[in-house]
Structure 1
Amino acid sequence: MLKYRTLDTPTGPLTVIVSSFGAVRAAGFTTDVADLMSLVHPSLRAPAEPADDVGPVAAHVRSYFDGDRSAIDAVTVEQHIGGEFIKHAWQVMREIKPGSPVTYSEFARMAGRPAAVRGAASACARNPVALFTPCHRVLRLDGTLGGYRWGLPVKEWLLAYEDPDQADPAAMRAAAGVMR
Structure 2
Amino acid sequence: MADYTTLTTPDGPFTLIAQDGAVLAAGWTAELDELLPQVHASLRPAGLTEVATLGALSDAVQAYYDGDLAAPMSVPVRQKSGPFRERAWDVLREVAAGHPLSYTDYASAAGNPKAVRAAASACAFNAAALFVPCHRIVRNDGSLGGFRWGLTVKESLLAREAELSV
Alignment TM-score, normalising by the size of structure 2: 0.96
Number of the residue aligned with 1:103: 102
Counterpart contact for 1:3–1:50, Cα < 8 Å: yes
Number of the residue aligned with 1:173: none
- Greater Rg by CA: 1
| CA displacement at 1:166 relative to structure 2 | 6.7
Counterpart contact for 1:160–1:166, Cα < 8 Å: no
**Structure 1 residue 130 and structure 2 residue 124: aligned?**
no
**Structure 1 residue 112 and structure 2 residue 104: aligned?**
no
Q: Secondary structure at the match of 1:16?
A: strand
Size of the alignment, in residue pairs?
A: 165
Structure 2: gaps of 5 or more residues: none
User: Following the alignment from structure 2 to structure 1, what is the Cα–Cα distance between the partners of residues 67 and 140?
Assistant: 28
User: Following the alignment from structure 2 to structure 1, what is the Cα–Cα distance between the partners of residues 41 and 110?
Assistant: 25
Number of the residue aligned with 1:75: 75
User: Following the alignment from structure 1 to structure 2, what is the Cα–Cα distance between the partners of residues 138 and 23?
Assistant: 23
**Structure 1 residue 139 and structure 2 residue 138: aligned?**
yes
Number of the residue aligned with 2:150: 151
Cα displacement string for residues 131-160 of structure 1 (whole angstroms, at most 9, x for unaligned residues): 110000000011100000000000000000
User: Following the alignment from structure 1 to structure 2, what is the Cα–Cα distance between the partners of residues 155 and 114?
Assistant: 24
Where does structure 1 differ by over 3 angstroms across 4 or more consecutive aligned residues?
A: 164-167
Aligned amino acid, residue 4 of structure 1: Y
Aligned amino acid, residue 109 of structure 1: S
